[in-house]
Amino acid sequence: MDICQTHENTSKCSVNTMECFMVLSTQAQKISIATLCGLFGTLCVFENSLVLYLIFSSPGTRRKPSYLFISSLALADILASIIFVCSFVNFHVFNETNFSKEMFLLQLGGVNTSFSASLSSLLLTALDRYISISRPSEYKLLMTRKRAWIALGLLWVTCATIASLPLLGWNCCTLNSTCSELFPFVDDNYLSSWICFIMVLLGCIIYAYAHVLWRAHQHVSYMEKHQAQAGKQNTRMRMDVMLAKTLVMVLTVLVLCWSPVLVLMIYSIFARLSNHLRKVFAFCSTLCLLNSMVNPIIYALRSKELYSSLRMVFSRFRRQQKASEESPEAESTHKSSIIET
């Protein structure tokens, strides 16, 4: 196994070995991490797979740019849950170290690509809603399917490129630089750059949704002053309240799930982390997985079109189940009639 020398004040370990980063010391901690990862990961894969099926099974939804962004979000969350759970549990629970530096950085790159693509898809979804409410008359001209596919292509290429930089040489082993206390072989400068990238994404998402909420509130205020029909006023007000609830939910989930991880990452760059904080970081990492599990509920299943498609799928499944239950009875009746004859 490759061994990277750390500088003398970064960690209590004299060398940057894989064992130094296995912070779960008790069986209870390992069982807790495995349970959280198994639960969140399974639900995440099931929910996002259902979202992809609902989007691409309907010609009306799969042609809309907004649903293309949601499908990209669902795909990124599926990949994030699979790669994260397998690598995280294998490392922290089973303490597997029988792989090279390149293999570890490849796994880490897959996790970073997936989570970065998930946040970037959230940003495209936010920008899509920003354009739809700020320039509604020009929305169909500005947001075409071709532009949506180009944006998604740039998104995934950018995220994969940034996540692959440690594997391509920007790591503390190759550069003989200061290693991170949270991730083996990761250079502190790269970690700082990746944190800045994620912070920019989160900031743009928050700004876009805050502007959407402000424009919606402004529109409702205008309708209250100039709309003569009270029924339409109440409808607009209900839409504004629903939109406000959705956006508050979006921002709350983002802040709660990503803030602990980012704060600990930033703290690790400027100060030494105790073993307790490193254990806290391991548990806080599962919150990013929780965010991927909650995303389809917020972005997809609250959509009227996808919700109606989901109801149709459930009703079709119930009819098939009833038919399968009734068929043995019909077959036995048919056999008994033949015997009597």
Give residues with Cβ within 8 angstroms of 1, minimum separation 6: 17, 18, 97, 100, 101
Report the top-level CATH class of 23-306.
Answer: mainly alpha
Whether 167 shows a pLDDT value over 90: the answer reads: yes
Reported as a single tens digit per residue, the pLDDT across 151-160 is: 999 999 999 9
pLDDT of residue 4: 39
Which of 35-39, 60-64, 239-243 reaches the highest mean pLDDT? Answer: 35-39
Proportion of the chain above pLDDT 90, given as a percent: 28
C-alpha separations of 161 from 116, 154, 200, 231, 325 in Å: 11, 10, 17, 52, 52
Predicted local confidence at residue 226, as pLDDT: 66
CA distance 298 to 317: 24
Q: Look at residue 220 in the predicted model and tell me its pLDDT.
A: 65
Question: What does the buried/exposed string (b/e) look like for 136-158 if buried means 16 or more CB atoms within 10 Å of the residue's CB?
Answer: eeeeeeebeeeebeebbeebbee
Sequence ranges of the domains in the chain: 23-306
Cα distances from 295 to residues 76, 182, 289, in angstroms, run 11, 26, 10
pLDDT at 8: 39
Amino acid at 102: E
Q: Mean pLDDT lowest for which of 11-25, 27-41, 208-222, 311-325? A: 11-25
Q: Residue 73's closest CA among 12, 23, 127, 25?
A: 127
197: pLDDT strictly greater than 90: yes
Nearest Cα neighbor of 129 from 212, 250, 241, 217 is: 212
pLDDT band at 49 (very low <50, low <70, confident <90, very high): very high
Q: Kindly report, residue by residue over 131-165, the tens digit of the pLDDT.
A: 887 787 888 888 889 999 999 999 999 999 999 99
Mean pLDDT (whole number) for 197-209: 88
